[in-house]
Structure 1
Amino acid sequence: MDVRQLSFRLLQVFVHVARTRNISATARMLHLTQPTVSMQLKKLRDAVGEPLFHYHDGEMVLTDVGSELQLAARDVLGRFDDFDLFLGRLRGGSAGHINIGIVTTAKYVLPRILGPFYRQFPKITVTLSIGNRAHIMDRFARQDDDLYVFSHPPTGTTVQANRILKNPLQIIAPLDHWAAGRAGLAFSEIRDERFLIREPGSATRMMFDAWLTGHGVELTDTMQIESNEAIRLSTASGLGLALISAHTLQEGRDEVKVLPVEGFPLESNWYLVSRKDRRLPHAAMQLIEFIADNLADCVDPALVAPDIAKLAGHYTADAGAPG
């Protein structure tokens, strides 16, 4: 490869196309014309000497060479972003931008962290992308974000995942449900009730399915709803019982009753996740260090992971850099 043919602009265009898989979208984002973006990609392909994309079912997909170039390009651009931040800090304080992908239940907690963080670092901006686990898993695979919050994180050698918060899952019922006043309850007594459940792939659904399978229980009446808010409201309205995060329950105004079912709440956790093969920007490291030092002041201390103080030690701004 003739590196003399490369430029920052070429790498920027490539990284945007690699993320969006769409030339038109990249052109709009970078205020370029589509022919200009296509020409830049061709110039980069010629410099590398290998195809960077191929088409599958009409969608642009990175080749193996393209995937490696994406890592290298992000590392190069990220280092100069950090240099720019270094200059900014010299001229008046921390600055930068963080992209964070979070599962839907975490949207009730992360703002409590980001508010105090912003007051301490007002020049650091954050873009939040919120979706169900499958959506955030896709973003993780595409390396769309710097950090992620999962309750059931991905696995593999490229994954850095550390528990930050407890996320107990409780069974709730309408206030007028026959079991609402009970002091103790076996699951067998409510197994034939209608349960409002999340979609397959949801971490809450995965936890519930695992518990049911482990106890040899099969629900006889279920209704799938792809929204925690809708499940909470539907339960309050008498549509059925549900398993829901305690954090989701705290944020709602709908009146429901937590049932004292034996074996519940299910113990779940939220994890802060990054990719080991992608270098973290300085701003993301600032947020990680803030969480390690201040999480107990932002949320209920009883829900904070006991080893939170060691969080920052698991991450490094040199992740993904050659060793």
Structure 2
Amino acid sequence: MNYTLNQLQIFLKIVQTESVTKASEELHLTQPAVSIQLKNFQDQFDIPLTEVVGRKIYITDFGKEIAEAAENIINQVHAINYKTLTYKGQLTGRLKISVVSTGKYVMPYFLSGFMHQHAGITLVMDVTNKNKVVESLENNEVDFALVSILPNTLNVEKLDLLQNKLYLVGSTGPDFGESSGTQEIFKELPLIFREKGSGTRQTMESFIERNHISVLKKMELTSNEAVKQALLAGLGYSIMPLIGIKNELHNNELRIIPINGLPIITTWSLIWLKGKRHSPVSKSFLDYLENEKKQIVQDKFHWYEQY
């Protein structure tokens, strides 16, 4: 047998995603390239690793055992790489961060420079809703979490990174008279909400309740991207974080609708459990942010000040 590390990685990703297409997307490879490597890998075994029924790929029992062995081999290779880098005096290890869904527009910019400085660090970043982010932090499954609303059930420490501004947004702007108040305006707008457990939804509902607004609820969607696509299609309006609609505003595909009391301003904060003993990697990342966050905001989020 003469299989390569690349083939092991591709096969393991296919097993994890149960799809050649999804594996190719996650590995940033073309689908034909992944299919060829899968075929070359399978041809080295007398027993099938996969079966295709209809258009779906299934992993055989033997294939699952090979995948488990492949994962062990890959982990050992990572361990060798870490030991080599450590011997050379370079920082190694894992940095685990849980990020609320809209935070995916924020966190990568605060990670990029640090990751380029430390090639031996593996980043594990989970993007999900606020409830699951808080749960992973509470269970000490991650080093840090990025949130725009601090959890009131946990004792945490924080590092503020960037303002979070939320505006009323739609594909078109309704023409209201000057005498129209906030309550009257919202009676005419079909609103699109994020799912329960979302920090954006929590902020939106707090605004509605605080201003005693009666709203025409249109629909509930489970991601910021889904809400944005619904707005682009003209299905309604929503109170959305500015951070996720930069291109749409620039291209005049979406517009901010001026409303008294908006924007709502919160803060994107990196948080961790109070008293947590940081690993060398997470401690180094905190030090990096303390020194570089102001410059990162200036370089990457200068457009934010226009709104």
Q: TM-score band (shorter)?
A: 0.5 to 0.7
Task: Give the structure 2 partner of residue 148 of structure 1.
Answer: 145
Task: Give the structure 2 partner of residue 208 of structure 1.
Answer: 204
Task: Give the structure 2 partner of residue 67 of structure 1.
Answer: none
Q: CA RMSD in A?
A: 3.3
Shift of 1:285: 1.2
Residues 199 and 184 of structure 1: CA distance in aligned 2, closer, same or farther (over 3 Å): farther
Equivalent pairs counted in the alignment come to 227
Indicate the SS of the match to 1:261. coil
Task: Give the structure 2 partner of residue 279 of structure 1.
Answer: 277
The TM-score normalised by the length of structure 1 is 0.62
Contact 2:167 2:239 in 1 (8 A): yes
The TM-score normalised by the length of structure 2 is 0.65
Measured in 1, the distance between the counterparts of 2:88 and 2:158 equals 34
Indicate the SS of the match to 2:245. helix
Task: Give the structure 1 partner of residue 174 of structure 2.
Answer: 178
Structure 2 residue aligned with 1:97, among 94, 97, 102? 94
Task: Give the structure 1 partner of residue 129 of structure 2.
Answer: 132
1:196 aligns with 2:192: yes
Tell me the alpha carbon deviations over residues 258-292 of structure 1, each in whole angstroms, 9 at most, x when there is no partner: 11111110011111111124311111111111111
Task: Give the structure 2 partner of residue 247 of structure 1.
Answer: 243
Residues 301 and 261 of structure 1: CA distance in aligned 2, closer, same or farther (over 3 Å): farther
Tell me the alpha carbon deviations over residues 46-66 of structure 1, each in whole angstroms, 9 at most, x when there is no partner: xxxxxxxxxxxxxxxxxxxxx
Matches of residues 101-116 of structure 1 in structure 2 within 5 Å?
101-116=98-113
Q: Percent identity?
A: 21
Contact 1:179 1:259 in 2 (8 A): no
Residues 171 and 108 of structure 1: CA distance in aligned 2, closer, same or farther (over 3 Å): same
Tell me the alpha carbon deviations over residues 212-262 of structure 1, each in whole angstroms, 9 at most, x when there is no partner: 111111213331111111111111211001111111111557810011111
Shift of 1:100: 0.6
Contact 2:138 2:154 in 1 (8 A): no
Shift of 1:153: 2.2
Contact 2:97 2:126 in 1 (8 A): yes
1:238 aligns with 2:234: yes
Shift of 1:95: 1.9
Moved more, 111-120 or 241-250: 111-120
Measured in 2, the distance between the counterparts of 1:167 and 1:128 equals 20
Structure 2 residue aligned with 1:267, among 236, 249, 265? 265
Residues 184 and 257 of structure 1: CA distance in aligned 2, closer, same or farther (over 3 Å): farther
Measured in 2, the distance between the counterparts of 1:166 and 1:255 equals 24
Measured in 2, the distance between the counterparts of 1:154 and 1:29 equals 40
Task: Give the structure 1 partner of residue 291 of structure 2.
Answer: 293
Shift of 1:106: 0.7
The letter for the 1-side match of 2:163 is: K
Q: Which runs of 5+ in 2 are unaligned?
A: 1-67, 73-78, 303-307
Q: Which runs of 5+ in 1 are unaligned?
A: 1-27, 33-80, 305-323
